[in-house]
Amino acid sequence: MLSAAAAGCSSYDRSLTRQTPVVTSLVTTGYCKCKSCCGWKRNWYGRPVFAYGTLKGKPKKVGVTATGTRAGKGTIAADRSIFPFGTVMYIEGYGYGTVEDVGGAIKGQHIDLYFHSHQQAREWGKQSQEVRVWVPNR
């Protein structure tokens, strides 16, 4: 019910969704901006830094996506080599979202859906489903 109420809150390119989507089977997982979902920790000075990966130890802007937007409902993390930033998706039970983030574990046919709370992200869990995808023209 929560996801249904929140669906449609995000901004996405509506002109894109007038085109015929590609329907593809993807694994979807939920995430939020917390430490365990986004792989950050506080350094000695109490500032958030990346906990691992190539940016380990580098400052991390918590709740800010890879494209610099504020993460919110409708923010999707995906593998940029497959789904470039700006790709619009419709996920049953979640609603419309836009690819504007990346994740260390997000590779291939796997996307991450942003939720405001860790509990909501955990409740979504991991699902395999048909997703409607609109890749922007470049």
> Given the rule CB under 5 A, which residues bind Zn ion?
32, 34, 37, 118
What distance in Å separates the CA atoms of residue 70 and residue 35, rounded to the nearest whole number?
16
Q: How far apart are the first and last CA of the chain?
A: 36
What distance in Å separates the CA atoms of residue 86 and residue 72, rounded to the nearest whole number?
15
Comparing C-alpha atoms, which of 9, 39, 24, 17 is closest to residue 128?
Answer: 24
Tell me whether residue 118 or residue 132 sits nearer to Zn ion (CB atom).
118
Q: Residue 34 Cβ, how far from Zn ion at the closest point, in Å?
A: 3
Tell me whether residue 41 or residue 132 sits nearer to Zn ion (CB atom).
41
Q: Residue 14 Cβ, how far from Zn ion at the closest point, in Å?
A: 29
Tell me whether residue 122 or residue 132 sits nearer to Zn ion (CB atom).
122
Contact 32, 119 (CB under 8 A): no
Q: What angle do CA 85, 97, 15 make, to 5 degrees?
A: 80
Amino acid occupying residue 100 = E
Q: Residue 85 Cβ, how far from Zn ion at the closest point, in Å?
A: 22
Q: Residue 39 Cβ, how far from Zn ion at the closest point, in Å?
A: 10
DSSP 8-class letter at 83 = S
Tell me whether residue 41 or residue 118 sits nearer to Zn ion (CB atom).
118
Q: Residue 121 Cβ, how far from Zn ion at the closest point, in Å?
A: 5
Tell me whether residue 21 or residue 39 sits nearer to Zn ion (CB atom).
39
Amino acid occupying residue 112 = D
